[in-house]
Every structure is written in C-alpha cells, then in structure tokens.
Structure 1
Amino acid sequence: MAEPLRIAYSPCPNDTFVFHAWSHGLVPGADTPEVRFADIDITNGLAERGELDVLKISYGQLPWVLDEYALLPCGGALGRGCGPLVLTREAGADLAGGTVAVPSERSTAYLLFRLWAAKAVPGGFGKIVVMPFHEIMPAVRDGLVDAGLVIHEARFTYRQYGLHSLADMGEAWEAETGLPIPLGAIVARRSLGEERLHRLAETVRASVAAAWDDPEASRAYVLAHAQEMDPAVADQHIALYVNAFTADLGAEGYAAVETLLARAAAEGLVPAVDPGALRF
C-alpha cells in the first residue's frame, strides 16, 4: 500500500470546505491524505523547508519554493472583493512610523500592503510584527499595535472589535490591475512526477465539485475547525473565497499571479519568477 500523502492546509472554512471530500475518502481513486492543520505562516515555512507533499501556502511564498514545489491550477483562493484590510482604532489614522501586525511576511496580504504603503504612507511605517491572524484584531483594539493587516473572515467581524478599515488592499489592487487577487496557492512536490501532479489536480477539482454538489456534507467538518466562528460568517467566508478560480485558475488567474509576483519582484520584495515555472 502506498504511503499517505502528507498535506497541510488551514482550519479556515474555505480550506475545510474544499478539501472535505478528499480528506474523507470521498474522491474515488484519490491518494490517501494525511492531513495537518496550520495557519498560513506555518504552512509557508513548511513549504520553504520542503517538509510535506501538498500544502496551501500564500502566493507571496511561491517564489521561494518553486524549485521544489509545483503550483496546482486549482484548490486555492483568488477572487474579487476579498482583499486584505488595514485596520486601525481610529478612522483615518496615520501609519507613518507606526507598528503594523501582519499574518506573515511571505503572504500576498503583506505584498499588497507593501505595494500600497509605498504610495499611501509617504513617511514609511515603523515596524512589522508577525502574529497569528486571529490575534491581530485584539492587538489593534488593545493598543498593542497601531494597525493590523487582516485576512479571511475578519472582513466580516472587525466592527465587533470597534475597529475601522483604513484601506482595502484588494480595492487598490483591482483598481490598478483589473485582475482578481491571488491569495492562497496549492502546491505539490515536483518529485511526485508530472503524471501524479496532474492526478492530484484532478483530485482537488473533484473535491471542489463534491463540496459544491453537497454543501451540507462538509458542514460539521467546517464548523468543527472554524475556531468558534458563527455559522453565518463561515458561510460568507466560503461564498467569498471558493469560486470559479478555485476550480481552475484559467488565463485570468495566471495573469493575476504573474502580475503580483512581477510587481513584488520589481520592488525587491520577492525573487524574480519565470512565468513558465508556474505551470507544469
């Protein structure tokens, strides 16, 4: 019997929704997965160390791992109207010299923030602090940091913390490029071989299709890992982050990824990437 594929993704509703069928043996003929849950900053590190077979990582991490991992054309998170937000305690706060909490320095959110801040914060921010994304809003609320860069369901819940949205990174990105926002990527070890990589892509697509065909089948799994999230918020989360690009990146999805990485490389934020390396 073949060894299980070691995979890692976040406990967020979009990931558990997408991978429910595969992780529960509901995709006929699929490799057996051995699942590990981890926040994005951890999975980014796992990929950089080459520790697992299949991972959900940030597109901001991709340039550092493309030699060892191939980008799968499905299963990830791209979209419109789903960008990270910069939150502050006071509306219209000035970030010059301030401390900003971010979920990862190798995240798309961070790249979008740096590209935005280069124009919007002429004095430059002061310090970046990395912390798990669910700790960021309390840290901003309690004055531990001056601003927080938030992702995922924080778009729907930040007002509960009395916070204000200073800027929407997605709005800035879409206004400049007209492209969707590339957030999370699914990567698989190149050493698995091209044939198996194609089979993995079909497995992920089948898992996505199964989730859409029977949304209630994954509901208990989604809510069990959603950190006490309100079910209605979990539903909003899935509706926003699981879309046509999850089933297939397509030409527009690849264009978004290429544009993000090219702009970030031009600013010295990531190594330059050959667009051909994004496909296998």
Structure 2
Amino acid sequence: MKIAFSPCPNDTFVFHAWVHGLIPNAPKLDVTYADIDITNHLAANKQGPEVLKISYAALPWVLDDYALVPCGGALGRGCGPLVLTRSGLSKTPDPALLSGRKVAVPSERSTAYLLFRLWAAKHVPGGVGEIVVLPFHEIMPAVRDGHVDAGLVIHEARFTYPNYGLSMLTDLGSWWESDTSLPIPLGAIIAHRSLQIEEIAKWTRASVQYAWAHPEASQSYILAHAQEMVPDVVQQHIQLYVNEFTANLGEDGYAAVTTLLSRAAEEGLTPDINLDKLLL
C-alpha cells in the first residue's frame, strides 16, 4: 500500500511501527516522504497514493475521493502556527505591521495559512501583501535574511525560532483556542474511498499505540528524517503533536474540524462541503 506523509517527528513517530512491519496483518507500506504542500496537491489532483497526510484545510478539495481517517493526524492545544518577524522590527507586537507586507507560508492549502487568513481578516488593516509559498524549513531563514517581511511557521519551528533572531508577532493557535474553545486541527490522515477505512484506522491506531508503548524503538528512524536533529527538540515536537486526538478524533476533534471548515466556507476561503462526509 502506498502512503505519503511528512518527515516530521510526529508523523514518523506515528507510522514507525506500521512502516517497519510491526502491526499484525497490516499491509506493507511503500512510503513517500513529502512536504505537506506536496501531499495537499497530490490529493487534490487525484495523483496521490492510497493513504496521505494532508492539511485539514485541504479536505474540501479531496472528500469526493478520500475519506478522513479518525486517527493518526495532528490536533491539539498550545501547538498552533506562529507568525514571526525579525527581532527589533517593532518593540511591541502589532498586526498592522503586516499591512501590505510579503509573508512566507508553508502551503496555500495548509491549515496554518487558513488560520492566518481568518485571523488577518480581523486584525490586519487592508490585508497583507504578497504571499510566498516556501517549504517550512526555508521560512525562518527567509525572514532572518530579509527576503520576506514575516513568516508563518509550523512544527518544531515553535521551539527554534529564537535561534534565527526572530520574534513572535502572534500565536494563531492561542487565537483560535480563545475564539472557539476547541483544539487546533492541523494535519489529517486520509484514505482513498475504495479502501476499507475502518481497517486503515485500526492499523493506524495500532501504530500509534505501539509508538507510545515503545518510544525508544522509533528514535533512530525519527532522527534520520527530522529537519531539526536535536533530540530534545524532536521529543518536544512529538509530545506536542501526538496526543489523545492522534488516537481518536472524538467529539472535540470533529467539532474543531467542522468549525474550521464552516468558518472558511462562510468567508469564501474554501469550497462549501457536506460535513457528513467527514464521518465514517
């Protein structure tokens, strides 16, 4: 079975056991490691493998062909995207600084960018200027070097941005949580509707449970693929993004996803969808 997910520590932690044949009766996986912007477009263009990790924000474009797997993804609290600028740009964080400015984002169909657009519509007078899509690991250097005015970052960048001389303008996760009281829906696992989705969910959940039970087993695999090689940063990343929602979306998880996509559709940022398609 072909699968595509990012090389980020949360994904490699989750899928380590399945990738290495440690889940009984699960099919062998043929893995493609790809940035979320690539997997979002693979799914939307109907060129993707049977199972993919994509942004929740990309779901409206793929639900005719793919179903949401209710585990394995990334939701949580205190783990939202950050908007960063160069240190010293302003003594106090002011969203108006982004008016007409160039901002780097990790994907035009990422949840991070969707949250950014929802936030900017309320907080940035006149809107931002040019949007530049970059792989997430290139965003902080671009901000640091002045190629863009601000950057929208995800993953372990939450822990490492001070190393690049950057400051946080806003935490979009904190804004979302205070506005909705719901967790932040970031990355989703989807599977082609021709498959037995319940089986995909069973194998994915078993891989998550194995990872929690044997955290040392996946360490070398995770470090071999991580952008940030510092073990402490990798561990922080896993602890933040692999949680109860990874094992089971549950009521709060589904509510977070439906709220995000409903708000986005109301603002004309994504296509309107039948929310019943999100349920197995």
Letter in 2 for 1:259: T
Q: Distance in 1 between matches of 2:7 and 2:123?
A: 33
Letter in 2 for 1:54: V
Q: Distance in 1 between matches of 2:46 and 2:236?
A: 33
Alpha carbon RMSD of aligned pairs, Å? 0.8
Q: Distance in 2 between matches of 1:219 and 1:167?
A: 32
Q: Distance in 2 between matches of 1:115 and 1:239?
A: 27
1:201-223 Cα offsets, whole Å, 9 max, x none, are 00000000000000000000000
Counterpart of 1:155 (choices 151, 154, 158) is 158
Q: Distance in 2 between matches of 1:158 and 1:120?
A: 23
Where does residue 205 of structure 1 map in the other structure? 205
Where does residue 239 of structure 1 map in the other structure? 239
- The answer to whether residue 27 in structure 2 is matched with residue 24 in structure 1 is no
SS state of the match for residue 82, structure 1? Answer: coil
The question of whether the paired residues in 1 share the 8 Å contact of 2:106 and 2:135 is answered with yes
Counterpart of 1:84 (choices 81, 85, 96) is 81
Matches within 5 A, 1:33-48: 33-48=29-44
The CA deviation at 1:275 is 1.4
The CA deviation at 1:114 is 0.3
The CA deviation at 1:82 is 0.3
Letter in 2 for 1:87: L
Structure 1: gaps (5+ residues): none
Letter in 2 for 1:27: I
Q: Distance in 2 between matches of 1:158 and 1:96?
A: 22
Matches within 5 A, 1:32-181: 32-51=28-47, 52-89=49-86, 90-91=89-90, 92=93, 94-181=97-184
Q: Distance in 1 between matches of 2:203 and 2:45?
A: 25
1:19-40 Cα offsets, whole Å, 9 max, x none, are 0000000000001111010000
Q: Distance in 1 between matches of 2:3 and 2:118?
A: 31
Letter in 2 for 1:270: T
Structure 2: gaps (5+ residues): none
Q: Distance in 2 between matches of 1:143 and 1:227?
A: 22
Q: State percent identity of aligned pairs.
A: 69
Where do 4+ consecutive residues of structure 1 move more than 4 Å? none
Where does residue 9 of structure 1 map in the other structure? 5
Q: Distance in 1 between matches of 2:136 and 2:176?
A: 21
1:166-202 Cα offsets, whole Å, 9 max, x none, are 000001100000000000000000012xxx2101100
Letter in 2 for 1:128: I
